[in-house]
Structure 1
């Protein structure tokens, strides 16, 4: 009798091993088929879909097999059977959630293929990319929370704890609300940015005195790529509660400013003509703005402001640097005496200092 029981357990164990091997074979076949379908560009499936879903697919097949097979015929330990059943349930939930996230990303990539952010006029593309990126993060966050909640509810002990907490839901809600007030506010700020869009991906901004581009927008923070390749990480609430500069809010084209300081005897018309010549010969200029104005005059120098325009902020920066360098070279070569200078008048050696200061007291200066 005992020998028959041992033989049955060994047979059932071998069936379990064969079943797991069959699941692995099915996984390999399905992975190969999906990978081969993805290689054809005419199909709707992306090329790298097989690589993305190989882990959740394996988890799903193994969990489904363990969920459906008769573990009671293999194991006599009821606790072990219950643990395997619960693990298979959680595996199905995790793999299904993983599938949804992968397909969500695939749907986003397919939808955004017709929008190119690398073009000159990319305002609409950046707007769509910003909306879908933030909405994607929101959906993924909700899916993960639901998956965790459903997984926990599969355990009887945790379900009983949850039911007992319902009686004090009001107090618990107040406590959780106060504790998570800042986190919830940050999440809501991320959603508000997605809807109102005070910033978009690749917008040129000035934040905390730093000039850069919006590189990444999440639900809780925004990454600004500074011009010197540093990264400024700012909470999402900053762009809702504080003032900042967005240079590309309405369009990508932007004006650049160059300030110069010269002496009073410089020829403004000559500088203006040189500026026009430089702009017309530069591919950086978009042929929209070409302005030279004297904006200030002090006892030492005059301030010249040059306004130029370009198709986007990086090009405007390069154009400003180019114009500043060439105009300074032009002034130095053609009007070296017009560079800023400080004048000091010294008295003659044979002259009394008081006489140079008060010439009317010098008898020699008195007209006879």
Structure 2
């Protein structure tokens, strides 16, 4: 009877104590979250409930399993299994706690600073720091798990003796991976490109969606994802439209007939921009920039607060100006010189009608 009661008491007591402590800790975190609504720390810490309870249960069972007198022949194997679970759950818990602290620090920084560029830079650094911390914790946990096996400890001397050769071989084999990792750190702390930046790479326009230690993902305007090694951004030129301030200046070009009413187009451009909510009101202009024997080139200039708005303004100006010219000034549209030209209206001052071409 004792052989049955003792294991039940030891195992059941460990599980029950784990549940009680876990519930009490969760209630404390809930109360702290209710008192401090501005900080996301307590809510983020609650995400570590599962690894926290695994650590408690594994530690209690590891310390009291010898008293259970259950499956004595397999006690070394069971004890080693509990040790592995304890190490793995502890590493999981450390990663969750580190993520909660880092995310809380970033949230406070984002609330205190209104500059979107600085916030995106810090966000990029925070994510890469978390990836580095997670990688270090995982490597340490795996090493600790391997040391739990006596055979691995015995092989430690031979592994250390060959570490130099293995290091050289691994360095040569992983040269590209290591270069990408260093490039990722350079991007994060060199402020070259950040999450949320609008970039143009290989002729593709998009937004930086994810930056890791080895690759970078750009989401294009048509929702495609371009994955590129981070070393690309440290070895080749690229356009970063969000560098500095996000404000941008855009242009629209038209090829028109020599009789195009440039002054009337300036007034129409002003009216179009005033009706466009994407225009930030900083500047606009319209000038004739070039001429050929058949056409003239007219350029409109406008400003907006970011890359998305400048695209909206440009397409609106291009579309509405062409529609207005077709409806009000069809003679201004380019045409083949041998075709019959639409006569220009009479000059309101002289009353003369220009001779057809």
Note if contact 2:10-2:67 (Cα within 8 Å) is conserved in structure 1: no
Q: 5+ residue gaps in structure 2? A: 341-357
Note if contact 2:29-2:42 (Cα within 8 Å) is conserved in structure 1: no
CA distance in 1, matches of 2:135, 2:254: 52
Correspondent of 1:158 among 131, 152, 158: 152
1:46 aligns with 2:74: no
2:92 maps to what in 1? 98
1:194 maps to what in 2? 188
Note if contact 2:15-2:57 (Cα within 8 Å) is conserved in structure 1: no
**CA distance 1:324–1:114, change in 2 (3 Å):** farther
1:139 aligns with 2:133: yes
Matches within 5 A, 1:1-368: 7-30=1-24, 32-34=26-28, 36-37=30-31, 39-42=33-36, 45-47=41-43, 49-50=45-46, 52-71=47-66, 73-75=68-70, 77-78=72-73, 80-116=74-110, 121-344=115-338
CA distance in 1, matches of 2:12, 2:55: 17
Note if contact 2:184-2:213 (Cα within 8 Å) is conserved in structure 1: yes
CA distance in 1, matches of 2:26, 2:109: 31
Q: Deviations over 1:32-66 (max 9, x none)?
A: 4245325414175433532x112202211121012
Worse-matched range after superposition: 271-280 or 229-238: 271-280
**CA distance 1:14–1:46, change in 2 (3 Å):** closer
CA distance in 1, matches of 2:211, 2:19: 42
Q: Deviations over 1:59-118 (max 9, x none)?
A: 11121012211426513544x21222222222222222222211222122222224559x
Q: 5+ residue gaps in structure 1? A: 1-6, 347-368
CA distance in 2, matches of 1:209, 1:312: 19
CA distance in 1, matches of 2:89, 2:287: 66
Note if contact 1:126-1:200 (Cα within 8 Å) is conserved in structure 2: yes
Shift of 1:20: 3.4
What secondary structure does 1:22 align onto?
A: helix
Shift of 1:244: 1.0
Deviating above 6 A after TM superposition, structure 1's stretches of 4 or more consecutive aligned residues are none
CA distance in 1, matches of 2:313, 2:110: 25
**CA distance 1:282–1:237, change in 2 (3 Å):** same
TM-score, normalising length from structure 2? 0.87
Shift of 1:214: 0.9
CA distance in 2, matches of 1:46, 1:317: 41
Q: Deviations over 1:195-229 (max 9, x none)?
A: 11211111111112111111111111111111111
Note if contact 1:272-1:292 (Cα within 8 Å) is conserved in structure 2: yes
**CA distance 1:53–1:201, change in 2 (3 Å):** same
Shift of 1:31: 5.2
Worse-matched range after superposition: 308-317 or 119-128: 119-128
Note if contact 2:22-2:53 (Cα within 8 Å) is conserved in structure 1: no
Worse-matched range after superposition: 164-173 or 64-73: 64-73
Worse-matched range after superposition: 67-76 or 312-321: 67-76
What secondary structure does 1:289 align onto?
A: strand
Shift of 1:310: 0.4
Q: Deviations over 1:259-297 (max 9, x none)?
A: 111111112122122212322333222222312232332
1:4 maps to what in 2? none
Shift of 1:24: 4.2
